[in-house]
Amino acid sequence: MNRTATQLLTLVRREVLRFVRRPYNTFLPPIITNTLYFAVFGVILGSRIGEIAGVSYIQFVLPGLVVLGAISDSFENASFTIFHGRWNEYIQAVTTSPMSHRSVVAAYVSASALRGIVTSLLIVGVGLVFTSVSVAHPLYLIAFVLVITTLFGGLGVIGGLWASDFDYLTVMNQFILRPLVFFGAVFYSLEVLPPLWRTVSLFNPMVYMVNGVRYGMIGVTEIEPTTSLLVLTGAAVAVLAVDLALFKRGYGLTE
What pLDDT score does 255 carry? 59
What pLDDT score does 193 carry? 87
Q: What is the DSSP string of 76-138?
A: HHHHHHHHHHHHTT-THHHHTSS--HHHHHHHHHHHHHHHHHHHHHHHHHHHHHHS----S-H
What pLDDT score does 107 carry? 94
Q: What are phi and psi of 52, to 5 degrees?
A: -130, 130
Q: What is the DSSP string of the chain?
A: --HHHHHHHHHHHHHHHHHHT-HHHHTHHHHHHHHHHIIIIIIITHHHH-EETTEEHHHHHHHHHHHHHHHHHHHHHHHHHHHHHHHTT-THHHHTSS--HHHHHHHHHHHHHHHHHHHHHHHHHHHHHHS----S-HHHHHHHHHHHHHHHHHHHHHHHHH-SSHHHHHHHIIIIIHHHHHTTTSSS-GGGS-HHHHHHHTT-HHHHHHHHHHHHHHS--SS-HHHHHHHHHHHHHHHHHHHHHHHHHTTTT--
Whether residue 78 contacts residue 112, with contact meaning beta carbons closer than 8 Å, is answered with: yes
Instruction: State pLDDT tens for residues 102-149.
Output: 999 999 999 999 999 999 999 999 989 888 888 999 999 999 999 999
pLDDT band of residue 3 (cuts 50, 70, 90) is: confident
Instruction: State pLDDT tens for residues 76-111.
Output: 999 999 998 888 888 888 888 888 999 999 999 999
Say whether pLDDT at 176 is over 90: no
CA 48 from centre of chain: 30
User: Percent of the chain beyond pLDDT 90?
Assistant: 44
Say whether pLDDT at 173 is over 80: no
pLDDT band of residue 1 (cuts 50, 70, 90) is: low
Whether residue 104 contacts residue 182, with contact meaning beta carbons closer than 8 Å, is answered with: no
CA 147 from centre of chain: 9
Residue with more model confidence, 176 or 135: 135
Q: Which of 143, 113, 65 is nearest to 240 (CA)?
A: 113
